[in-house]
């Protein structure tokens, strides 16, 4: 009888990140037969050369990240009693210089002088002009399943964030590496303890408020169908598949020591869906850690958006882990974006929500559909993905979002080119997004003008539909 092949279960339930071919329960790798691998001298030579090259790249990458981490540590130790504006640079012999004109970072002897209190940023990194409100957006920061530690880009980012002087940090889901039925309560608690120690507490000790959307690996809201053919052990049809992870998330975020520094408006189902006001902006956070939204969720959202707190705010922002539209390769299956995205979009536009921020697709893209701005935040942790229809290399990113309530001010003579820019009803938003492997700012002009997905075209934030070219009106080609 020939060996039987099967695919590992889909990642949406069992926690595998990709399908792997198994042969009689043993992984089959191309070129490998049985338990033996035949290698000739040419193949071995190629393997040695490739391994050496990868090792050199990895060593250089590690050195850059170590410098970023050291820089963050230096920034956090700034004397709070000094008369200097926060994070203003001094003339010192050696500093970290992140070369934002190239794809790689370099170290050299420099003495950068930001010198402007309205342009706070880490030393050596491009400093955007601060808006009336500044929000730092991070997403998908988790490591591998069960991990209780974080990658160097994540740790460097957390250390550098205070230098941007944000009013708020938004975490758009997947803060830990859950979504495994085999996890024990002890393992889940250990992951949240690692998050608390390495992410949440450093930000709050720096005096920075934080709000989050629950991601699929934090506490998925996936419900097992009543008529499911396969029923995992311990899961009741019609109930949450990852009920113990949701319980652990609730326990962590509702603990008395978890002061987020924000004013909650509707907290009855916190941390899964809730609303809050901060700096005269109303935030609506969806329980969207799977592709499905219930009628009750939509009704809840409308009640909140029509409330006095929402309508009296200067701006409204919506937040969910799963996006309304697909933008990344491997994430354009129907189970990887909100199945009722069009209804959500119509609701948000009706109540004049300015921006919807999402994660999950691991690909930074400042987009828009209709009247709604869409900030697809990139992955800061593992697994960044390329956009649909491109071969671009993905990057681990962090976004600084500056909000100007009265429109953009006149440009300064020394103004730094910003990443994205948009205006709507006098409100202007500017995104400055950093490649956290190098510290370089992502150049918006090098992003796709449009992304063709299963729900239609998502335009880049600065592109108008009337200006679309024949090439822009591309057809969607699925990536799976």
Query: Encoding tokens for residue 116?
Result: 């402007």
φ, ψ of residue 189 in degrees (nearest 5): -60, -35
Query: Strand (E) positions, 167-272?
Result: 168-171, 210-212, 263-269
The Cα 225–Cα 229 span in angstroms is 9
Res 193: pLDDT = 98
Q: Burial letters for 320-351: b for 16+ Cβ neighbours within 10 Å, e otherwise?
A: bbbbbbbbbbbbbeeebbbebbeebbebbeeb
Q: ∠241-245-251 over CA atoms, to 5°?
A: 140
Res 24: pLDDT = 34
Residue whose tokens read 């600065």: 462
φ, ψ of residue 232 in degrees (nearest 5): -60, 150
φ, ψ of residue 26 in degrees (nearest 5): -115, 135
How many CB atoms neighbour CB 35 within 10 A?
6
Per-residue pLDDT in tens (0 to 9) along the chain, 480 residues: 444 433 333 333 433 333 333 333 333 333 333 333 444 545 555 454 555 555 554 555 555 455 555 544 444 433 333 332 333 322 222 233 333 333 333 322 222 234 367 899 999 999 999 999 999 999 999 999 999 999 999 999 999 999 999 999 999 999 999 999 999 999 999 999 999 999 999 999 999 999 999 999 999 999 999 988 889 988 999 999 999 999 999 999 999 889 999 999 999 999 999 999 999 999 999 999 999 999 999 999 999 999 999 999 999 999 999 999 999 999 999 999 999 999 999 999 999 999 999 999 999 999 999 999 999 999 999 999 999 999 898 999 999 999 999 988 776 544 444 444 444 458 989 999 999 999 999 999 999 999 999 999 999 999 999 999 998 988 999 998
Q: What is the CA radius of gyration of the chain?
A: 23
Which residues lie closer than 8 Å to 450 by C-beta, 6 or more apart? Answer: 457, 458, 459, 460, 463, 468, 472, 473, 474
Res 138: pLDDT = 98
Res 91: pLDDT = 26
The Cα 250–Cα 340 span in angstroms is 25
Domain ranges of the chain: 5-75, 130-467
Which residues lie closer than 8 Å to 171 by C-beta, 6 or more apart? Answer: 138, 139, 141, 199, 210, 211, 212, 213
Helical residues (DSSP H) of 165-215, grouped into ranges: 185-195, 201-205
Residue 95's beta-bridge partner residues? 108
Q: Quick one: which H or E segment has residue 283?
A: strand 281-285
| pLDDT single digits (tens) 321-342 | 999 999 999 999 999 999 999 9
Res 56: pLDDT = 54
The Cα 186–Cα 157 span in angstroms is 28
Domain 130-467 has CATH 3.40.50.620: no
Find out whether 423 and 431 touch, Cβ atoms under 8 Å: no
Which residues lie closer than 8 Å to 160 by C-beta, 6 or more apart? Answer: 68, 71, 72, 75, 122, 125
The Cα 314–Cα 304 span in angstroms is 15
Q: Omega before 271 cis (within 30°)?
A: yes
Res 408: pLDDT = 81
- Separation of CA 447 from chain center: 17
Q: What sign for the dihedral angle of Cα 157, 419, 289, 479?
A: negative
Res 108: pLDDT = 28
Res 292: pLDDT = 96
Res 450: pLDDT = 97
The Cα 210–Cα 56 span in angstroms is 38
- Separation of CA 23 from chain center: 36
Res 277: pLDDT = 98
């Amino acid at each position: 009888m020939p060996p039987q092949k099967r695919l590992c279960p889909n990642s949406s339930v069992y926690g595998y990140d990709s399908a792997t071919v198994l042969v009689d329960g043993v992984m089959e790798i191309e070129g490998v037969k049985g338990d033996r691998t035949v290698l000739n001298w040419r193949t071995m030579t190629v393997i040695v050369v490739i391994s050496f090259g990868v090792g050199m790249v990895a060593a250089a990458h590690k050195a850059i990240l170590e410098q970023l981490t050291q820089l963050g540590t230096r920034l956090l130790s700034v004397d709070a009693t000094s008369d200097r504006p926060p994070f203003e640079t001094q003339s010192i012999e050696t500093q970290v210089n992140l070369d934002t004109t190239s794809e790689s970072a370099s170290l050299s002897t420099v003495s950068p002088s930001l010198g402007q209190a309205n342009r706070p940023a880490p030393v050596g990194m491009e400093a955007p002009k601060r808006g009336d409100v500044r929000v730092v957006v991070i997403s998908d920061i988790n490591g591998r399943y069960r991990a209780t530690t974080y990658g160097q880009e994540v740790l460097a980012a957390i250390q550098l964030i205070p230098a941007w002087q944000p009013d708020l940090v938004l975490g758009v889901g997947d803060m830990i590496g859950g979504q495994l039925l085999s996890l024990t309560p002890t393992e889940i608690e250990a992951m949240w303890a690692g998050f608390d120690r390495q992410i949440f507490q450093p930000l709050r000790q720096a005096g920075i408020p934080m709000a989050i959307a629950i991601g699929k690996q934090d506490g998925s809201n996936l419900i097992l169908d009543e008529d499911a053919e396969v029923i995992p052990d311990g899961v009741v049809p019609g109930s949450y598949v990852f009920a113990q992870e949701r319980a652990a998330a609730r326990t962590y975020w509702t603990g008395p020591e978890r002061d987020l520094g924000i004013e909650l408006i509707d907290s009855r189902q916190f941390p899964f869906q809730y609303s809050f006001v901060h700096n005269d902006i109303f935030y609506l956070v969806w329980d969207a850690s799977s592709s499905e939204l219930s009628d009750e969720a939509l009704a809840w959202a409308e009640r909140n958006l029509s409330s006095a707190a929402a309508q009296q705010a200067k701006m409204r922002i919506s937040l969910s882990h799963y996006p309304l539209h697909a933008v990344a390769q491997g994430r354009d299956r129907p189970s990887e974006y909100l199945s009722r995205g069009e209804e959500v979009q119509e609701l948000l536009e009706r109540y004049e929500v300015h921006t919807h921020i999402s994660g999950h697709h691991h690909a930074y893209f400042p987009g828009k559909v209709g009247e709604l701005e869409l900030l697809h935040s990139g992955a800061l942790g593992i697994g960044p993905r390329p956009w649909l229809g491109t071969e671009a290399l993905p990057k681990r990113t962090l976004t600084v979002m500056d909000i100007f309530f009265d429109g953009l001010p006149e440009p300064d003579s020394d103004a730094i080119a910003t990443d994205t820019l948009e205006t709507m009803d006098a409100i202007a938003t500017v995104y400055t997004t950093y490649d956290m492997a190098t510290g370089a700012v992502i150049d918006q002009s090098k992003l796709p003008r449009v992304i063709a997905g299963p729900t239609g075209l998502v335009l880049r934030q600065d592109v108008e539909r009337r200006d679309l070219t024949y090439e822009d009106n591309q057809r969607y080609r699925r990536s799976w």
